[in-house]
Amino acid sequence: MEIASLFLGLIGLLAWTIPLFGFPVTIIGLILGLLGQKRRKRGIALAGMILSIICLVATIVNASLGTYHMVTGKPPLLW
């Protein structure tokens, strides 16, 4: 579980650009990291959780900016 969490956290670094893929990847990685905390390799599970949290925040920001762009027809505030 710990290695899967780390792997999904690394995949999340690419998947956050497409929120449809980013949300499931990061949420599953976060859950596996939480479950992996109870085992021996806590460092790997913690790294997977941190990566998943960072990617989840990036996915939420990306989805929010995309929604803003679609609703208003204006480019996001960062452009």
The DSSP-derived string for 2-65 is HHHHHHHHHHHHHHTTSHHHHHHHHHHHHHHHHHHTTSS-HHHHHHHHHHHHHHHHHHHHHHHH
* Whole-prediction pTM: 0.82
Compute the distance between CA of residue 69 and CA of residue 4 in angstroms, rounded to an integer.
34
Tell me the pLDDT of the chain (79 aa) as tens digits: 888 998 998 998 898 888 888 899 999 999 999 888 887 778 888 999 999 999 999 999 989 888 888 888 876 665 5
